[in-house]
Structure 1
């Protein structure tokens, strides 16, 4: 397996990474644009886009912003509303795996920014049926979250005739350099299906065997091309116009708005995905079972590129945060499945590029890992200078003493 000589990404990255003659991956090369592009000029271009979508009559919203109780939601809303003066409608898909911390963050976001918000909560039984199907078909417990988060904003845009959707960061740009920032790629149904949804649209899940009916999936159906064209819906990514640095952005939001952070199970990043029990835990473990690397690799690679970690420090963190998932019991109880059955299903989705089964012991063995590439040749030739330390903070809990150990389907939506 080839690994990047600058960051930690392997060649089997599911978003399709490539390497140059120096052994540096496309993600690292596109990241270099962050230090050479004229971001003032790009910010002015974003301002011009926003000006074209402002609702002059005041009888509708200027744009839609998909949000959650974590990630870069605070930064996106702050930027769009307070920096550029837009009047956004916030939309959120209820992922069902919510932490109480995430519910609090979401409530504070809605209250502090004084924005209207629409939330879609699909019936828990429907979500469970869909999740059983996606576990079997693609080894995913998170398909319904990704599908809902990416389709609900588009459905709302069509229904309320709000043509502009503002997304945060394009994963394909930031992780693997699939595009240049200058390409100014926008959200497309094709990218969503191929990468976010692992090749499955909602209608592909209708199956008598899985007891999934078409009516169970209606909330996940993407609007037709005709509907989208009638409204002129487009989805732009802020990271094409703003130098994206999620760590620095979160720290700014902590200072300005009191964004609440929390320890994660399988990564050192305490800022992203604190709203979900599973994203950086069981869901991440499933990613490791499939591809042989996990969330700590994503986060360490990002911090190496920003000069906050050396490559060796990144490898140390990947090794440190390779724990077993802590939330498997919680998920199995919710889905009414035992852990052995879940593991058996997941083993069917291990990718042959990463895993090989020993036929004598029937044990799965990882073919390679970044730990075996600590001393690859020519690493120093492409090494980035470390310019600062990489420290993630834990903020004081707004609910000290509370044990956050069960899903919160619907919580308090505002702050007094």
Structure 2
């Protein structure tokens, strides 16, 4: 387990390769971003928008997934306000939203000239799939990502909407399994690092049947191409910065988390719209030796807001904290006991990077200052 010499990302993250300088994929992406002609990229987006408007579709010009988070609000604001598109915002309803998430979604709908659709997938089916994803894969939010990607694209297909707009390409921005170059098309988002090669059919059994999973099934690529549907990453055309997105929407009514600090979290505006994601993020710590605060610090290093030395101190202060705030909510929703939870923790803890010292699990290769 080695750490990037530019940021603090470990090479245990899937897909991360340190180069001869010790730089990770995301740090190399940051260098690439500095060489991109962003004016040219913006003109490419202008051209896409012009073609969409010229098509004069009967219902909407673009579908945008929104959650009550800062980035999706920014996406909707950009497409509706700046580009003047007829936007349909689609929310995959959270079964355990936070107070802030509810408020921000309502504030966004009031603020922007958009229509909004909420899809509520059957809670009992969602619970069963999430439980399987947690117990067998240690990744409960796989179910949510699968349903979100699929439902939004299905809505575009049903309503004949020619454009689907996502935020950033996570493999390029954060480093991952897929690629080291930014790509404009997001048609393959159902095979991104969040989904990989699994489909919803992997989880079918006596508890979950084919009739339960329409909004979990991604349409065939050929069908989308025949319908003329484009799916793009807005971050391919505009310099993507989550902090600046937050600052932009905060002026329009976005509210941060009221109770701070949160365990393992140095920010009050990141991933605050629902309760079930906390444990999912923490499981990265078991598997790869890092989680939320490392991601947050790396992001600020990449955007020249934080030094590596300061990031090391911050990570070491926060990273060993367990996300206790919504732990009982997580257990209740998934209908599992604490004993089952900790058995699953032990199952997915990576013993190659963890060791037991004086009755406590500790990383074998902790993050340290150089020299």
C-alpha separation in 1, matches of 2:13 and 2:334: 29
What's the secondary structure of 2:348's corresponding residue? Answer: coil
C-alpha separation in 1, matches of 2:356 and 2:201: 34
What's the secondary structure of 1:236's corresponding residue? Answer: strand
What's the secondary structure of 2:231's corresponding residue? Answer: strand
- What whole-Å deviation, never above 9, does each CA across 1:277-316 have from its counterpart, x for those lacking one? 243x322222212211001101100101222111111111
- Structure 1, 222-231 or 81-90: larger mean CA deviation: 222-231
C-alpha separation in 2, matches of 1:71 and 1:193: 24
Q: Does 1:4 align with 2:1?
A: no
How much does 1:164 deviate? 1.2
Count of residues in Structure 1 that have an aligned counterpart in Structure 2: 365
How much does 1:365 deviate? 4.5
Equivalent position of 1:292 in the other structure? 289
Q: Does 1:132 align with 2:128?
A: no
**1:38-187 equivalences in 2 (<5 Å):** 38-54=37-53, 56-57=55-56, 59-176=58-175, 179=179, 183-187=182-186
What's the secondary structure of 1:239's corresponding residue? Answer: helix
C-alpha separation in 2, matches of 1:357 and 1:199: 34
Query: Is the contact between residue 61 and residue 86 of structure 2 (CA under 8 Å) also seen in structure 1?
Result: yes
Query: Is the contact between residue 5 and residue 23 of structure 1 (CA under 8 Å) also seen in structure 2?
Result: yes
What's the secondary structure of 2:193's corresponding residue? Answer: helix
Higher relative contact order structure (alpha carbons within 8 Å, sequence separation ≥ 6): 1
How much does 1:148 deviate? 1.6
- What whole-Å deviation, never above 9, does each CA across 1:236-279 have from its counterpart, x for those lacking one? 11111111111022112212x02111144321122221111243
Query: Is the contact between residue 12 and residue 353 of structure 1 (CA under 8 Å) also seen in structure 2?
Result: no
Q: Does 1:283 align with 2:243?
A: no
> CA distance change for structure 1 residues 82 and 194 in 2, over 3 Å: closer, same or farther?
closer
Q: Does 1:258 align with 2:259?
A: no
Equivalent position of 2:242 in the other structure? 246
Equivalent position of 2:265 in the other structure? 267
C-alpha separation in 1, matches of 2:57 and 2:63: 15
- What whole-Å deviation, never above 9, does each CA across 1:208-232 have from its counterpart, x for those lacking one? 4xx3322232320111234222212
C-alpha separation in 2, matches of 1:136 and 1:28: 34
How much does 1:55 deviate? 5.3
Q: Does 1:351 align with 2:347?
A: no
Equivalent position of 2:195 in the other structure? 197
- Structure 1, 215-224 or 54-63: larger mean CA deviation: 54-63
> CA distance change for structure 1 residues 319 and 357 in 2, over 3 Å: closer, same or farther?
closer
Equivalent position of 1:303 in the other structure? 300
> CA distance change for structure 1 residues 353 and 238 in 2, over 3 Å: closer, same or farther?
farther
What's the secondary structure of 2:280's corresponding residue? Answer: helix
Equivalent position of 1:332 in the other structure? 331
Query: Is the contact between residue 168 and residue 239 of structure 1 (CA under 8 Å) also seen in structure 2?
Result: yes
Query: Is the contact between residue 278 and residue 284 of structure 1 (CA under 8 Å) also seen in structure 2?
Result: no
- What whole-Å deviation, never above 9, does each CA across 1:113-149 have from its counterpart, x for those lacking one? 0311111111211111111211122112212211121
Equivalent position of 1:381 in the other structure? none
Query: Is the contact between residue 193 and residue 199 of structure 1 (CA under 8 Å) also seen in structure 2?
Result: yes
> CA distance change for structure 1 residues 333 and 20 in 2, over 3 Å: closer, same or farther?
same
How much does 1:4 deviate? 0.3
Query: Is the contact between residue 150 and residue 192 of structure 1 (CA under 8 Å) also seen in structure 2?
Result: yes
CA RMSD between the two structures: 2.2
How much does 1:205 deviate? 0.5
C-alpha separation in 2, matches of 1:319 and 1:45: 42
Which consecutive residues of structure 1, in runs of 5 or more, have no partner in the other structure? 377-416
- Structure 1, 361-370 or 17-26: larger mean CA deviation: 361-370
- What whole-Å deviation, never above 9, does each CA across 1:52-76 have from its counterpart, x for those lacking one? 1225435221111111101301211
How much does 1:357 deviate? 6.7
How much does 1:364 deviate? 4.8
How much does 1:366 deviate? 2.7
Query: Is the contact between residue 88 and residue 116 of structure 2 (CA under 8 Å) also seen in structure 1?
Result: yes
How much does 1:160 deviate? 1.2
How much does 1:335 deviate? 2.3
C-alpha separation in 2, matches of 1:201 and 1:347: 26
C-alpha separation in 1, matches of 2:328 and 2:56: 52
